[in-house]
Amino acid sequence: MEEQIQQAVEIANSPSSDPVIKEQALSFVSQIKSSTNGWQPCLKILQLDTASTNSKFFALQVICERLPLLSDSEKISLKDMIFNYLSSLISQNKVEPIFLRNALSKTLGLLFVHCTLNCYATLVKDVLSLAYNGSTFNDIATDYYVRTLSVIHQEIGDQMITRDNRSQDQHNLLKDSIRANDMLDMTSVWKKILGHYTSDAVVNRSLADEIINNTIICIGSFVSWIEINLILDEQYMSFLYQFLGEGTNAKRRAITANTFNEILHKKMPPSKKLELINFLNLGGILNQLNINSNAIEFDVSMALAKLVNQIGEESITVLDKCSPAELGSADFRSLACSKILEIFPLIFEFLSNEFDDISLEVFPFISNFLLLLKKNITNETIDLSAINNDEILTTLSKNIILKLKFDEDDDGDDDDTIEQFNEIRSKLSVFLDSIVLLNETLALEVIINCINEFLFSKIGDAGSQPDWRTIELGLYVLTYYSDMLRNNVMNLPKTMINNSRPYFVFNEMLCKVITSSTQILINHPLIQLSFFELLLKHYTFFNNNNIQVEGVNKEDILLKVLNIFISNFGVFSENDKVKYRSWYLFHRFVKMTRPKVGDFIIEELIKSLLPLLSFDFQIVSNKNKLLSNDPSAALFDLDMTLIEESGSFESQLRVFESVGLLITLVSSDDGRINILENVLQPMFTSLEAAITKLSSSQLEIVGLVQVHHYLIAMGNILKGFESLRGQQFDQSKILNVLNQVSQVILITLENFIDFNIIREAIQFCIVRLYIILNNNNHSEKELLQSILSKFISCIMLNFEKLKVLEIISFINFVSQIFYQSSTDESSYILLSSLLAPLLSKIFMKVENDKNKVTDEFSKQEVLDLQRSVMSMLIAISNDHLNSLWLANEDNKAMLINVINTMLSYSYNHQGTDLSIVKLSILVLNMLCQGLGSGIVVDPQDNFRSDNNKFEQVNELLISNSILLVAELGLKVPAANKNLLKDAQFRNNITLEVCRLLKGIAHIGFEYPDSNTLQKKKSENATDSNKFTPLPVGFNEETCQQISNTLVGNFGFPSELAAQLVQTLVSTTDRNFMKYLIDLVEKF
């Protein structure tokens, strides 16, 4: 068996083994591991001189896994065999590979854990007896001794490992056993080990180094749960101080620093901790070492940084957790503060390290130090001036700011590195915020001096080439300074911020950066973007006349900014990242500032941007699926997100909108129109050429995408005009241009209606035209009506070609027209003719698609379409256009269809998404309130007529709605009372049917506020001349109808029905819902 195991292990570990045989070998060794007796042949393998290291390692693994499950007698037998194996290694003076020594040590450690409390209590002493006979050490046994102790600590004392209560109780008993039986021997022999193996008498220096290092690790591990005074003697400290300062043994130095960390971390009262810190005097010792953290090994520097941070944190904890009496003691406080002051030079040393990972190690101390000062900022009884003074805070501030600088070997061109460094900067900025709170004057002085040094100190120096990192740091600190003001870190009254001295100083520095830009700004992406981001953050400086800087002409400053934007430093940068971001920032800057400069300047800016108004792209890849063998068929249904193209179309759209904005800033009507025509004409020409090419030759995706891009680009130019009002330009001239644009767009739609990306682009343009023309309230509405009529007609004729998302977008656009058309008769007439056919097509689309749903995505599309159409139905009522339903016979017929559809959705609540059920009930409620009297009673509906009536209102709408409320509000929850505990059912159905019933009860009357029962305040209530509001009260006739239905159809006692109606009209929506739920639960 032993031979078979060895062969299987070797085959399993060999990279050249045959895969089939290797699989068999792995299966065999797995069986050995899982078998109850597999550990026994593994023990025998350890006794074989011929056994390979792989076989021995496997054998020890099997033994360790099986050991906890063995009986006491089996454990004793196992222990004897393991000690025999260890003795043979000692007698042969055989140094096994480290992984084997660790495996055997783990076996010994587990023997201690699983045998000490029940069958074998002297393992630690027995291993020690092999290592040390009272006068001499055996190197092999000593190595196993300290390794075994480390395993024991990992198993029972490591606080980083979470254990269940039962295991923790057992481990506590094991710790007690060590404290009672082995602690004195261990701490005594550790000292002797350190003395012996650091002497020159040692033969095997390599093994001796391992023993020393593992002993130091043991000291650090066990100190958390043994008597600390046993290792706090002069000889111990002498060894540890020696190791800490050893410049030639980096590993030992790092291990020693970690051990001191553990000693400092030992839990004890604040007074005792301060005694420990003072006794160790680590701050003083480390200062004597004159550490240069950049010159020593990384691991050592990291370990020392952690140690310095721990010294500081423990000292701060002493002050933070001590008793008032201790804190009041001058001697106690002075000693604690001195320990904090002692490590500040070391904190600054590691903070300035070139590796951020090392610097981060001292961040916790800085954070807790500043937190301690902030906690005591108003404490006048305790003097902390020793650590809270100008010198410390100034030096700390300067070091924090210097740490904000990019390293010399960082070119600032790697996004991941920049992101990581920005996280560090964010933490450093929080430290600066704390210092500002502690001493505003000092912090601002340091920050301003640093900005002046980094940005302005080299101005005028001939031949001096500033480092981009210094300039970037200056801009970063200036940005921090501005953010500090914006976020009001200084806690100034809001009205004082813009008039405060720090704000004036910032404005002066901002102007200085702009005026000295040629000497300060370097073509580096981080500098370019920081500068433009800073300008955008403070756009108010440029358009607020109340903000002035002495000696600065703001118009000149603004012109300089615009010129910087329109240069190789900004929108024409050779760096794509800078260029694309600058396009966005320039667009935002122009939009926010609307710069008041001369027409000539605006024209020159636009001329400068013209080269950016053309498209140069190639299709890199197209992941749209081919639906047939005809490649052109795929062009009818393209997903632009699946098309990867060269160029920068999405970013470029910002430039088009910027041009549109700039054109609106031209004061001359003729000048504005001429520029607009000059900008649009090349686009018309290019678009016409692209359309001609597509029409005359085989369709290609490049040409189709090009048409799409030109349409979207035109739409974005128009988007710049959206904020203009009619009085700002000559109406007839702009109408001519907009008419020309609309003709181009509509002709394109007629020719390319089959292509979804063209339809989407044209709708985008139509929406832009609608907003411009509707905003400006022209006396001539013909153009707007003509555009809408042609567009809507074209869409309706080709409705079956639209994708669901297009239909939703079209519905939203029509809803927008509803909102704008309550006072416009021509729009009203257009909508009245559109309503019935549009809803008919939508409902048909919903039903067809519901029957074809095969996946979750399709199901979600149908739900989105249902939500959109119901939102439009609700918008009709909200926009005071209920008269549309009665405007013609087609609409009346559609009204009946809508009512039946909403009732169907509501009754089918189990098979319908609850959001759809909720919306359908809401639609019924809006119809009841708007048309429940059979005529339109909304006083704000300008097109209502008493001659237009809905004769079937009671039969179709009111009666069925009451029955629906009784069904969903009473009958359904009564049959399944668990529904009343379902929050979604209550909020989406129960509450809405309560509101529907309340709406029925208030037909012809003002619907009360849902929370107060008071009359709702209409948006036009302040203008009493506009309309006569509805009366306050409730409809007795419909209330009686509710009562009769409950009695006649559902068997309610008449008194209970009357009580329900009385509660309905006298309580809020939610209170009535509670009443209804209580009623259901009682019956």
Taking the C-alpha atoms of residue 553 and residue 866, their distance in angstroms, rounded to an integer, is: 58
Q: What is the mean pLDDT of residues 1-14?
A: 87
The predicted pLDDT at position 733 comes to 81
As beta bridge partners, residue 1008 has: 1015
Q: What is the mean pLDDT of residues 597-624?
A: 90
Q: Are residues 359 and 268 in the same domain?
A: yes
> What are 554-608's pLDDT values in tens digits?
999 999 999 999 999 999 999 999 999 999 999 999 999 999 999 999 999 999 9
Would you say residue 294 lies in a domain? yes
Would you say residue 766 lies in a domain? yes
Residue 158's region, left for phi above 0, alpha for psi from -120 to 50, else beta, is beta
Q: How confident is the model at residue 633 (pLDDT cuts 50, 70, 90)?
A: low
> Does pLDDT of 1013 surpass 60?
no
> What are 664-698's pLDDT values in tens digits?
999 888 898 999 999 999 999 988 888 887 776 66
Would you say residue 468 lies in a domain? no
The predicted pLDDT at position 827 comes to 86
Q: Are residues 361 and 265 in the same domain?
A: yes
Q: How confident is the model at residue 629 (pLDDT cuts 50, 70, 90)?
A: low
As beta bridge partners, residue 643 has: 622
Q: What is the mean pLDDT of residues 602-628?
A: 85
Would you say residue 747 lies in a domain? yes
The predicted pLDDT at position 726 comes to 55
Work out whether the CA dihedral 245, 246, 247, 252 comes out positive or negative: negative
Mean pLDDT score of the chain: 90
Torsion of CA 459, 465, 467, 470, to 10 degrees: -10
Contact 237, 194 (CB under 8 A): no
Q: How confident is the model at residue 825 (pLDDT cuts 50, 70, 90)?
A: confident
Would you say residue 542 lies in a domain? no
Distances (CA, A) of 100 to 46, 217, 591, 850, 1070: 11, 19, 71, 67, 73
Q: How confident is the model at residue 145 (pLDDT cuts 50, 70, 90)?
A: very high
> What are 509-523's pLDDT values in tens digits?
999 999 999 888 889
Contact 795, 802 (CB under 8 A): yes
Q: What is the mean pLDDT of residues 855-860?
A: 88
Query: Which range, 637-641, 686-690, 712-716, 781-785, is most confident?
Result: 712-716
Q: Are residues 796 and 880 in the same domain?
A: no
Non-local (6+) Cβ contacts of 441 within 8 A are none
Q: Are residues 782 and 894 in the same domain?
A: no
Name the DSSP letter for residue 1029. Answer: P
∠ at Cα 1053 (1049, 1059), nearest 5°? 105
Torsion of CA 451, 454, 459, 462, to 10 degrees: 170
Taking the C-alpha atoms of residue 418 and residue 435, their distance in angstroms, rounded to an integer, is: 25
Phi, psi of 618 (to 5 degrees): -130, 150
Give the helix ranges, DSSP H, for 404-524: 415-438, 440-451, 468-486, 494-497, 501-515, 517-520
Q: How confident is the model at residue 319 (pLDDT cuts 50, 70, 90)?
A: very high
Q: Are residues 766 and 905 in the same domain?
A: no
Taking the C-alpha atoms of residue 867 and residue 872, their distance in angstroms, rounded to an integer, is: 9
Q: How many CB atoms lie within 10 A of CB 262?
A: 16
Q: Return the structure tokens found at 136.
A: 């001499």
Q: Are residues 1014 and 911 in the same domain?
A: yes
Non-local (6+) Cβ contacts of 107 within 8 A are 60, 63, 64, 67, 82
Q: Which of 326, 351, 379 is the last residue of a domain?
A: 379
The SS3 call for residue 552 is: coil
Q: Which of 801, 826, 841 is the last residue of a domain?
A: 801
The structure tokens 């005792």 sit at: 272
> Does pLDDT of 1023 surpass 80?
no
Taking the C-alpha atoms of residue 666 and residue 646, their distance in angstroms, rounded to an integer, is: 34
| Percentage of the chain modeled with pLDDT above 70 | 96
Contact 761, 712 (CB under 8 A): yes
Would you say residue 487 lies in a domain? no
The structure tokens 């003509």 sit at: 786
> Does pLDDT of 149 surpass 90?
yes
The predicted pLDDT at position 536 comes to 96
pTM listed for this prediction? 0.84
Taking the C-alpha atoms of residue 31 and residue 9, their distance in angstroms, rounded to an integer, is: 12
Q: What is the mean pLDDT of residues 458-463?
A: 70
> What are 913-944's pLDDT values in tens digits?
899 999 999 999 999 999 988 999 888 888 88
The predicted pLDDT at position 818 comes to 86
The predicted pLDDT at position 489 comes to 82
The SS3 call for residue 671 is: helix
Q: Are residues 244 and 342 in the same domain?
A: yes
The SS3 call for residue 619 is: strand
CA nearest 909: which of 923, 919, 899? 919
Would you say residue 761 lies in a domain? yes
The predicted pLDDT at position 779 comes to 53
Indicate the number of domains in the chain: 3
Residue 304: domain span: 232-379
Q: Are residues 784 and 886 in the same domain?
A: no
The predicted pLDDT at position 780 comes to 59
Contact 60, 107 (CB under 8 A): yes
Q: What DSSP string describes 125-161?
A: HHHHHHHB-SS-B-HHHHHHHHHHHHHHHHHHT-TTS
Contact 783, 742 (CB under 8 A): yes
Q: How confident is the model at residue 202 (pLDDT cuts 50, 70, 90)?
A: confident
CA nearest 1029: which of 1012, 1060, 1056, 1005? 1005
> What are 151-183's pLDDT values in tens digits?
999 999 887 777 788 888 999 999 999 999 999
The predicted pLDDT at position 1024 comes to 40
Q: Are residues 633 and 774 in the same domain?
A: yes
> What are 79-92's pLDDT values in tens digits?
999 999 999 999 99
Q: Return the structure tokens found at 180.
A: 């009672």
- CA gyration radius for the chain? 41
> What are 287-313's pLDDT values in tens digits?
999 999 999 999 999 999 999 999 999
Q: How many CB atoms lie within 10 A of CB 778?
A: 17
> Does pLDDT of 426 surpass 60?
yes
661-698 burial code (b ≥16 CB/10 A, e <16): bbbbbbeeeeebbebbeebbeebbebbeebbeebeeee
Residue 698's region, left for phi above 0, alpha for psi from -120 to 50, else beta, is beta
> What are 952-984's pLDDT values in tens digits?
999 999 999 999 999 999 999 988 888 888 889
Q: How many CB atoms lie within 10 A of CB 1003?
A: 24
Q: Are residues 765 and 900 in the same domain?
A: no
Would you say residue 105 lies in a domain? no
155-190 burial code (b ≥16 CB/10 A, e <16): bbbeeeeeeeeeeeebbeebbebbeeebbeebbebb
The structure tokens 């050893």 sit at: 246
> Does pLDDT of 263 surpass 50?
yes
Contact 123, 108 (CB under 8 A): yes
Q: What is the mean pLDDT of residues 426-455?
A: 95
The predicted pLDDT at position 1027 comes to 60
Contact 442, 449 (CB under 8 A): no
Taking the C-alpha atoms of residue 79 and residue 121, their distance in angstroms, rounded to an integer, is: 12
Q: Which of 379, 412, 434 is the last residue of a domain?
A: 379
Q: Are residues 791 and 890 in the same domain?
A: no
462/567: higher pLDDT:
567
Q: Are residues 250 and 368 in the same domain?
A: yes
Work out whether the CA dihedral 116, 122, 125, 129 comes out positive or negative: negative
Distances (CA, A) of 1037 to 462, 958, 1031: 94, 11, 15
The length of the chain in residues reads: 1083
> What are 684-743's pLDDT values in tens digits?
998 888 888 777 666 788 888 999 999 999 999 999 988 776 555 566 788 889 999 999
